[in-house]
Chain A
């Protein structure tokens, strides 16, 4: 039996009057890649942002229900979101390295936690960059600007930046949508490697990507979770006609 990382119970999210997520019940398993698919505006990005409470930044967003992380209590007001975000990392759609050096980018998270010693930071940065399969390419220019890297390298740097905090979960919001096919391929194989140690939740627009890299696939539509199962089942024999239509590209 696989352990669960997230238990989501009856999750609802409103943007003002707009009901963006409706009664979501879902489980996310440890050391698995869960892909979230669905047409634009279906709520999958909103959902992933519930997992590390990034929706808290939108003043009119209101969350109801439960997102239980690691068997903890129900998340409601007053919850330690900072602590949560340290354990649940996130990679964004567009590579967004900070305007500082490669080293400082990766060391940013640990430094905010109060780690000051140079040697410790060096160890963390090196390990994270290695995990993100970027170390060999940048080891000679750790002090040069992160913005001098290519788009694919920048995205791997952002992954390394998230890994430096040694999170348990990594959320990826369409991490390859701004990248070329070759860079995409590298990220995908990286995701495959990372799954050994991390739980990964990824939002993607590409059916092929979901099929290639994920173990579980969840299909969202109009703010509802329509279907979730192993990727194999979803792609070979979906329960719903709607899911099949979407996967085969009949709408979306």
Chain B
């Protein structure tokens, strides 16, 4: 065997190294997102509110007592026998350290506090299991803070010398329900607009359009859309779709319909191209056979040709869903970056991708929860990729069999 000159060894080495790097890059992304975000993944996260709702309750009458809390001991749990309360050093859905109410006795005085919120009609509020304690202040004593930890807070609260004055607590925040629902809404609205529009346009170009300079230019115009950066679509959204929807719908400002319309334009070239590719492979014989049976062109197209292009349309749908889930820049422009817990289609809110952007541009950035959302997005993208492969495979298989 001739010895390989060093130059060739380097070139070969570079090729292998490059491939390793590419694989490593993908591995790194998954590794990072899983390492940072997997621990927050839970059903409660998907269900929960992002914004913690805060309450300020005044302790009017404090009944001194001693509650029996046996059986409530545990790791990171601290008992407050005086008030019938168990505190737990814990984390909220977003991964921030908090003090949670792990248990509260039915007869605890903290079940009935005077609501200090003047805008609320509720005059009494009460601590519940799962609530997050933010601060507890006492008459003539220094306040207990979250930052000192649950042990310290429990000790303070158990101290019979300290008369409770005010309890500030909140619901647990950090959930992503709002953004999840927004994303689902956006997928639905976008596809409802883009799919019929794109499929019909594809049918026009593949089945009905004459081949001339005008239609060629039209195709080019549509193809050009793929090269337009998404941030520019955002500009289109705020100048055209937001005013349009404000005029035509109950919306008063940016809204999910406008967001869906913007995304629909982004999807349009993808759906048109994918559908057209599927239409192209439909055998010309089937068209002729249908026409020969006396069907007109419309019937032939919609009854014979289109059904055979369904796998292509399905692929386009999956690609579209992926694009909607991943889109950020355009949506930031059209819908803003304010995370909402209650989602209405005539109001703005954030999708999962924008949720990440919103948290990453916050001070301080919440990398843990961002990674969890990224992990969710990656899992969806992975599923979509598999779905596309399965669709193509199933179609090939069916095609080969017949």
Contacts and interface: CB of A to CB of B under 8 A. Distances in A.
A83 interface: yes
Contacts of B2: 80, 82-83
B1 interface: yes
A82 B3 CA distance: 11
A16 interface: no
Nearest to B2: A80
A249 interface: no
A82 to B, nearest CB: 6
Interface residues on B, range: under 10
A80 B2 CA distance: 6
Nearest to A77: B1
A155 to B, nearest CB: 30
A78 interface: yes
Nearest to A83: B2
A110 to B, nearest CB: 15
Contacts, number: 6
A203 to B, nearest CB: 29
A83 B2 CA distance: 8
A86 to B, nearest CB: 11
A78 B2 CA distance: 9
Contacts of A114: 5
Interface string B1-29: 11001000000000000000000000000
Nearest to A114: B5
B232 to A, nearest CB: 37
A77 B339 CA distance: 67
Contacts of B5: 114
A114 B1 CA distance: 18
Nearest to A78: B1
Interface string A68-93: 00000000001010110000000000
A114 B2 CA distance: 15
A82 B5 CA distance: 13
A148 to B, nearest CB: 30
A114 B6 CA distance: 12
Nearest to A79: B1
Contacts of A83: 2
Nearest to B5: A114
Interface in A151-207: none
Interface in A75-130: 78, 80, 82-83, 114
Nearest to B7: A114
A179 B5 CA distance: 39
Interface string A48-79: 00000000000000000000000000000010
A114 B4 CA distance: 13
Contacts of A80: 1-2
Contacts of B1: 78, 80
A132 B2 CA distance: 31
A56 to B, nearest CB: 13
Contacts of A82: 2
Interface string B179-213: 00000000000000000000000000000000000
Interface in B330-382: none
B1 to A, nearest CB: 6
A9 B61 CA distance: 110
Interface in A13-63: none
A151 B5 CA distance: 36
Interface in B316-342: none
A3 B5 CA distance: 35
B10 to A, nearest CB: 15
A104 to B, nearest CB: 18
B5 to A, nearest CB: 8
A90 to B, nearest CB: 19
Contacts of A78: 1
A80 B5 CA distance: 14
A73 B5 CA distance: 25
Interface of A: 78, 80, 82-83, 114
6 contacts: A78-B1, A80-B1, A80-B2, A82-B2, A83-B2, A114-B5
Interface of B: 1-2, 5
Give me the 3 closest cross-chain CB pairs, A-B, nearest first: A80-B2, A78-B1, A82-B2
